[in-house]
Amino acid sequence: MVYSLGVALTALPAFAAGDPDQGRALAKEWCSECHDVSANGAFKLDPPSFAAVAVYRSEEQIFSRISLPAPHHGMPRIGLILDLEAVDDLVAYIASLERPIGAANGSN
């Protein structure tokens, strides 16, 4: 099992710089039912707001979490629905939300 996971991770293409504006539109369409996807969203962990994801996960981790076909905590297999360019856009949008922990909502 560990071997097959290693193969899956090495087969995953590296993410490219995406378009955060396109990512915001995709987030509203595909992710907002469960996640707070707004730029000034509440900093919550279950399910995580995109602001929390931006602080606690690297872009590589975000890309892998979306792209790998294994669902987590009830998340749909979004990596099988969206193409890699769209995933890159989502990653770019989420990364654009990073702000210091403890920063007031609305400040970037």
Max mean pLDDT range (16-20, 27-31, 38-42): 27-31
pLDDT in tens, 49-89: 999 999 999 999 999 888 886 666 677 788 889 999 999 99
If you compute the radius of gyration of the chain from its CA atoms, what whole number of angstroms results? 14
Q: Cα separation of 62 and 107, whole Å?
A: 22
pLDDT of residue 43 exceeding 60: yes
pLDDT, mean of residues 37-56: 87
Domain ranges of the chain: 18-96
Show the CA angle centred on residue 13, arms to residues 54 and 70, nearest 5°. Answer: 65
Going by CATH, does the domain composed of 18-96 fall within 3.20.20.30?
A: no
